[in-house]
Amino acid sequence: MPGFPIAEIESNVLSRADSIRTYEPPLEMKEYLQQQLDLFGPQKVVVLPARRQTSSYEIPPARYRRNAIFLAMLLTSMIWIPASERGGPMGVLAWLMLILSISGWALSRVVIKNSPKKVPQKLASSCLIFSPQGLAMMQGDYQGLLLWADVRDAVEAKKDRSFRFRSLNAGVSVKLTGAELLIDDIYQESPEQIAARIKQQI
């Protein structure tokens, strides 16, 4: 198409695709990353940072505040409806408040379910480094390296209720020889994508 900046668009798309690879990791992992780059080159080493949406947890999460508001509206309307005059303006207002509280709560459930989960501030500097040698990870207090020879499988953990008590926001369960490692769902790729990356290496 005449005048269409194909080269410019292609360059922009490639720069976005490589944005994760060129991300600068925390200081604790820079030396390891450089070693992997020297050994295998930038095309075979991928750095995966945590998502940018963070939460300090210093104030109640927004979903708790919303739920408190809807609950207050619901209780108020339930008390107000029997006390108000049937068919009167106050009764209509009470019923309207009841409908709004229920529909607002249901809508907030949909929004929360489809919104990306926030990353706790203490995990904001977490990252994964994939290379032909293995998987290096810094996640909270954990920092270490998994060699691909020691990894047996990787599966999504979000549907397993037992994981909720063992990890804040578990997304991938990495099966090792006689052990198991949980990777939280806090990174810029989905648990499905992370599990697929690991399976490609083992």
Q: Which of 55-69, 78-92, 108-122, 181-195 has the highest mean pLDDT?
A: 181-195
Q: Give the pLDDT confidence of 119-161 residue by residue, as tens digits.
A: 777 888 899 999 999 999 999 888 889 999 999 999 988 654 4
Sheet bearing 134-139, strands edge to edge: 46-49, 127-130, 134-139, 142-147
Could you report the per-residue pLDDT of 31-74, keeping only the tens digit for each? 999 999 999 998 999 999 988 766 554 444 566 677 778 788 88
Statement: residue 21 has pLDDT above 60: no
Q: Which of 80-84, 176-180, 197-201 has the lowest mean pLDDT?
A: 80-84
**CATH of 20-53+123-201 given 3.40.50.300, 2.60.40.10, 3.40.190.10, 2.30.29.30:** 2.30.29.30
Residue 198 has pLDDT above 70, yes or no: yes
The CA distance from 99 to 114, in Å, is 23
Q: The whole model's pTM is what?
A: 0.58
Q: Where are the domains of the chain?
A: 20-53+123-201, 62-114
Other residues' Cβ atoms within 10 Å of the Cβ of residue 151: 19
